Structure 1
Amino acid sequence: MKHFLRHCGLGLLFGLCALSAHAQDYRIGYVNTDRIFREANAAKAAEAKLQQEFSRREKDLVDQGNALKAAADKLDREGPTLPDSQRIARQKQLMDQDRDLQRKRREFQEDLNARKNEELQQLLDRANKIVRQLAIADKYDVILQEAVYINPKLDITDKVIAALNASGPGSAGSGSTGSK
């Protein structure tokens, strides 16, 4: 068993050496999409657009939550002095309002996530187009998006962000992805 492992290890070592010598013929790049989503002006513009689009609904939900909490606190204070029928009716009303609020919060979160995914997909489409242009212009053979480890000298994320920023910060959601 030791001999087998030793032979496998030597074979792997020789294979990696040969692959390493052969890999020098290729130009490899790496793009960090998380950084693009955080740092590109188009990503920041999309985030601001979503904030503006959803801020009113979010405020309404917060206000409804505060009103519900105030009503529950009032019931807690007045509950011992209320007749059972009134107390039970108010408890049922509060439970119905709470259920309605939870439903509205879920719908809000689903709508927000859907819009966020749309905006991120548009940004990703633009970034991928720029990556392809850079790959052709700079003669890259492979550009990776995911890697366990990458040498920082292979990272072209800054070039992609600069190209995205140069193409306009707010154009991620303006429909410019469809024009060719």
Structure 2
Amino acid sequence: LEQSPQARKTTALIENEFSPRNKQLVEEQKGLQTMEERLAKDAAVMSENERRNLERDIINKRRELKRDEDEFREDLTFRRNEELAKIQTEIINAIQIVARDNNFDLVMSEGVIFASAKVDMTDMVIQYLSDQAAAE
């Protein structure tokens, strides 16, 4: 699956799609870190009220950042699974075509303890998928 051009294309597409949100999260983390550093450095010279406000802001920022990170992970996982389902359908179709064209009687994806190279059709399927990707 990972070796197919379709999977590589999808990975790049998803990375491109989620890159701006990831950068935003990194910026939020930096902002939180700056606030924490300010509190650590200036707490002794801050007024009680100012320190409490900064601590509250840090807690709120942490909570918001965690919520954003969780949402990002959920969205990314959902999107990956969505695209993976599409690719798996393409691969199953490719396996069926290659198996039929090469007169395979049985194709197993798991549970095989030993198989000789002459019955391993992985390279043929990858080549078929590569040809399909090149044709698009």
Please confirm whether the aligned pair reaches a TM-score higher than 0.5, indicating the same fold. yes
Q: What does residue 125 of structure 2 align with?
A: 160
Answer whether contact 2:98 2:128 (CA < 8 A) is retained: no
Bigger radius of gyration? 1
For residues 109 and 169 of structure 1, the distance between their equivalents in structure 2, rounded to whole angstroms, comes to 32
Q: How many residues end up aligned between the 2 structures? A: 135
Percent identity (aligned): 26
Q: What does residue 77 of structure 1 align with?
A: 41
Q: What does residue 115 of structure 1 align with?
A: 79
Answer whether contact 1:46 1:170 (CA < 8 A) is retained: no
- Root-mean-square deviation over aligned CA pairs: 1.6
Q: What does residue 56 of structure 1 align with?
A: 20
For residues 3 and 60 of structure 2, the distance between their equivalents in structure 1, rounded to whole angstroms, comes to 43
- Relative to 1, partners in 2 of residues 1:97 and 1:138: Cα closer, same or farther, differing over 3 Å? same
Deviation of the 1:114 alpha carbon? 0.8
Spell out structure 1 runs of 4+ moving beyond 6 A: none
Specify every segment of 5 or more residues in structure 2 that has no aligned partner in the other structure, as ranges.
none
Q: What does residue 95 of structure 2 align with?
A: 131
Deviation of the 1:139 alpha carbon? 2.0
Which structure has the highest helix share of the two?
2
- CA offsets, 1:3-39, max 9 Å, x none? xxxxxxxxxxxxxxxxxxxxxxxxxxxxxxxxx2x21
Equivalent residue for 2:8, pick from 36, 44, 47: 44
For residues 97 and 169 of structure 1, the distance between their equivalents in structure 2, rounded to whole angstroms, comes to 47
Query: Structure 2-normalised TM-score?
Result: 0.92
- Is 1:86 the counterpart of 2:50? The answer is yes
Deviation of the 1:151 alpha carbon? 2.2
Deviation of the 1:147 alpha carbon? 2.5
Q: What does residue 15 of structure 1 align with?
A: none
Q: Quick one: higher RCO (CA 8 Å, sep 6+), 1 or 2?
A: 1
Deviation of the 1:135 alpha carbon? 2.1
Q: Classify the secondary structure of the residue corresponding to 2:84.
A: helix
Deviates more, 1:152-161 or 1:43-52: 152-161
Specify every segment of 5 or more residues in structure 1 that has no aligned partner in the other structure, as ranges.
1-35, 172-180
Letter aligned with residue 158 of structure 1: D
